[in-house]
Amino acid sequence: MKIISFDCYGTIVDWEKGIISSLRPIFEKYEVDITDDEILEIYSIIESRLERNYIPYKEVLRKIVIKFSDYFDFDLERGEENVLLNNWANFELFEDVNETLKEIKKRGYKIAIISNVDNDLFELTKKKFEFEIDYLITSEMVRAYKPSKIIFEYALNAFNSKKNEILHTAQSYYHDIIPAKELGIKTAHIRRRGFGATPRVEIVNSDYEFENLREMLSIL
């Protein structure tokens, strides 16, 4: 392997924690009785539907909040639809990220990010990185969202590498593991929070299974 590619939100960023902490005050304000797991499950359904056809991710985030308000029948005040956007810069990295990815770079591998995100939103996240990335592939660049294979095919062209030289690493079966495997790319599944805020799908066998990113170092 020469290139280790990573999903960003859910794998590098504690996306689910960010979603819950952003939306919880809205639900409390409008007296919506909902658990954290229910927030994530409904989020996954809404987001996956919105991403079937490309629109900027900032619009996806706004529409998700509006769809929640429609679903639970409350009226948002002006600007509240931006709650996820306004909190995006505060979404935290998992604690194992900087240490592990710095070590991966030190061992001579190139690091790529393949993410369902707008470029400017990713730049807010990148400020937290203590490591350099070699490639960035976003949905804004490709005008498509994972699990579309278009985004992975775009990445393969950008890397100018053979499939057996790449290991794609992610938490989501739906967005990442399944489409990457179908294209013949090796995969490493990171068990973060079950399905989290991603659609429930039949679990497939990835090439590697890890509890966290740190465990990846054992194969590199």
Domain residue limits, the chain: 3-14+91-219, 15-89
Do residues 169 and 190 make contact, with C-beta atoms less than 8 angstroms apart?
A: yes
What value does the mean pLDDT of the chain take? 96
3-state secondary structure of 3: strand
Give the β-pairing of 135-138 and 186-190.
Answer: unpaired
User: 189: which residues sit within 8 A by CB, 6+ positions away?
Assistant: 170, 171, 173, 177, 206, 208, 209, 210
- Catalytic residues, which ones? 7
Q: Kindly report the pTM of this predicted structure.
A: 0.95
Residue 195 has pLDDT above 80, yes or no: no
| Residue that the structure tokens 């990185």 belong to | 129
- CATH number for the domain whose boundaries are 3-14+91-219: 3.40.50.1000
Residue 202 has pLDDT above 90, yes or no: no
Answer yes or no: CATH 1.10.150.750 is held by domain 15-89. yes
Do residues 133 and 160 make contact, with C-beta atoms less than 8 angstroms apart?
A: no
Give strand pairing partners of 4. 111, 167
Poorest-pLDDT segment among 115-119, 161-165, 195-199, 212-216: 195-199
* Tens digit of each residue's pLDDT (9 = 90 or more) over 6-62: 999 999 999 999 999 999 999 999 999 999 999 999 999 999 999 999 999 999 999
